Structure 1
Amino acid sequence: MEIQKMSFPKIMPLLESCIREMEGAAKKIRATLKTFPIGRLRVSPHRGSYQYFHVAENSKQVGSRGTYIPTSQRNLACGLAQRSYNETMTEAFTRGADSLKFALQELNRLEIENSFTAQGPGRCQLLSPIYLPDDLYAERWQKVEYQGKLFYEDEVLLTTVKGERVRSKSEVIIANMLNQMGVPYRYEYPLRLSSGRVVYPDFTCLNVRTREEFIWEHFGRMNDEDYQVKTFRKLDSYAMDGYIHGVNLIYTMENDVRSVNSKTIELLVQQFLL
């Protein structure tokens, strides 16, 4: 059994971010309480509508019905209701933050990330890991063997810094940028669509931090009308299979006038793959 898609380095910052947001919300809401009237609101059904009563904070009478709030003092009823609601939300956010803090402490204490390597090199050789730390997960992902598309004899020989053969100078730039920025990738890794058709995206990339896979297509002949039509069909086909630009699909384009921009590639890598 393997539980490999889960990324604790991804979960931890999310928990920390939620804690900060909840504590910040509680603080802001708590600060509003001084702007509302003191006391509490009692609501009583009356002839298909409601009557409102102001129960003073210092009221010592148990079950006090409070003072009737006439329609002319509607703002008082609104203020008392809002105060009660804001107090409830302050407590909810505070308790939520405390619960997440406890969960974060527990996850840190469990040290799931290091459980496999902590077994020692001798035992690791005998084990089928349930969960791998990020570096080992990326290493295993990168070593998957596959058969990509074949090259024709008349195709230009273009290689990356890793010695891989690719089909265009722009793909060399993309591959080298991915390698430079430490992003594991597979070139023309086969992808079977729901229709049963197998396609070969230019790059299949791994965001190690989130353990999410992105496919990256580079469309290099956007000046060609037939190529444009095929490109849009391909993007539609990807969308039908759940590959959406900016979610799990990245694409870049160029034509005879404008070539691929290395800075753009770097920004896309930073945004989606790190």
Structure 2
Amino acid sequence: MKLLETLKKEVKKYSDLDKKIKNLMKNINIKDNEYLAVKNNNKYTQYYKCLINPQTKELERVYIPKKDLSIAQELANKSFYNKVSKIIEERLSLLNGLIDSYENKNIEDFYYSLIPERRELINMIVPTWDQRFEKWRNEEYQVSKFPFESIEIYTKKGERVRSKSEKILGDIFTDYGVEYIYEKPLYLENGEVIYVDFTIMPKNSDKVVYWEHFGMMDKPEYVNNFIKKIELYARNGIYYGENLFFSFESSNMTFDIKNVERIIKKFLI
């Protein structure tokens, strides 16, 4: 889930910042009951070190001359760091609470924790991801009329594909549990239709992702068509690295399977 990943990144960012502040505060030689007072006149600024006398309970104020400006800086920084540390503490508490809620209080997880006999009686507020996925997978669509070559190549799912590379990709998706539809038509705003190599709905996400394999990248005309296709996708709100991914190869270079697996692990499962 993208939101959960973002929340965890925020937790790391604020945790690292909190550690940095604590390390900075170790180097500040200011007592807990001391603080800075600033007095502004029209001509100059005066700094005072203030504290409450523990015996008399009265305020004591000591003027800080220019030569001791570092004392004023330490007082100002300690006060600032203390307040920022409290802000970070509140932020981390909020973020960790949200993460706990997303990880442990999921509506669908609660639904599936019930016994089947009870689930059958429940009218779900919204369809589960499995139900939404089944509806998406079973949508009727026009199959591509582009003819296959004489050689027959099939994936583990028994689908006929157009190249050995597409078979490898399909089998990798299957091995990782990534559900896809081969050559499902994508209808663009201008009425044009693209038969996408692999249309994917990642687990627990309603975002549809497209994967195209480009297998003749050493041919200039093929590369030109590749560029046109990228631009066509972008004009329709489909962007590489967000909801569109590619794999490439040429006659001298096979596509990088490890890179395909990295993309799958980061974005599709």
TM over 0.5: yes
Q: Are the counterparts in 2 of residues 27 and 90 from structure 1 also a CA contact under 8 Å? A: no
**Unpaired stretches in structure 2, ≥5 consecutive residues:** none
1:129-158 residue CA offsets vs partner (Å, 9 max, x unmatched)? 51525x555555444443332242655432
Task: Specify which of 151, 169, 175 is matched with residue 174 of structure 1.
Answer: 169
Q: Which moved more, 1:81-90 or 1:209-218?
A: 209-218
Q: Are the counterparts in 1 of residues 111 and 119 from structure 2 also a CA contact under 8 Å? A: no
* Distance in 1, Cα, partners of 2:53 & 2:90: 27
2:181 aligned counterpart, secondary structure? strand
Q: Are the counterparts in 2 of residues 40 and 57 from structure 1 also a CA contact under 8 Å? A: no
* Distance in 2, Cα, partners of 1:264 & 1:19: 28
Task: Specify which of 38, 49, 52 is matched with residue 47 of structure 2.
Answer: 52
The answer to whether the aligner puts 1:235 opposite 2:230 as a matched pair is yes
Distance change (3 Å), C-alpha of 1:111 and 1:61: same
Q: Considering only aligned residues, what root-mean-square deviation do their CA atoms show, in Å?
A: 3.1
The answer to whether the aligner puts 1:26 opposite 2:33 as a matched pair is no
* Alignment TM-score, normalising by the size of structure 2: 0.81
**Structure-2 residue corresponding to 1:61:** 58
The answer to whether the aligner puts 1:90 opposite 2:90 as a matched pair is no
Alignment of 1:1-274 (within 5 A): 7=1, 15=7, 18-19=10-11, 21-38=13-30, 39-47=34-42, 50-56=45-51, 58=53, 60-62=57-59, 66-105=61-100, 110-117=105-112, 118=114, 120-121=116-117, 124=120, 127=123, 129-132=125-128, 138-152=133-147, 156-208=151-203, 210-274=205-269
1:53-111 residue CA offsets vs partner (Å, 9 max, x unmatched)? 2213647424x5x3222322222222211111110111111122223344455556744
* Alignment TM-score, normalising by the size of structure 1: 0.79
* Distance in 2, Cα, partners of 1:36 & 1:122: 61
Distance change (3 Å), C-alpha of 1:49 and 1:119: farther
* Alignment: residue pair count: 263
The alpha-carbon deviation at position 189 of structure 1 amounts to: 1.9
* Distance in 2, Cα, partners of 1:13 & 1:184: 21
> Following superposition, which runs of at least 4 residues in structure 1 exceed 6 angstroms of deviation?
none
The alpha-carbon deviation at position 188 of structure 1 amounts to: 1.7
Higher relative contact order (CA 8 A, sep 6+): 1
1:15-46 residue CA offsets vs partner (Å, 9 max, x unmatched)? 55644554454344234223124221112222
* Distance in 1, Cα, partners of 2:254 & 2:146: 24
Identity of aligned residues (%): 29
Distance change (3 Å), C-alpha of 1:131 and 1:91: farther
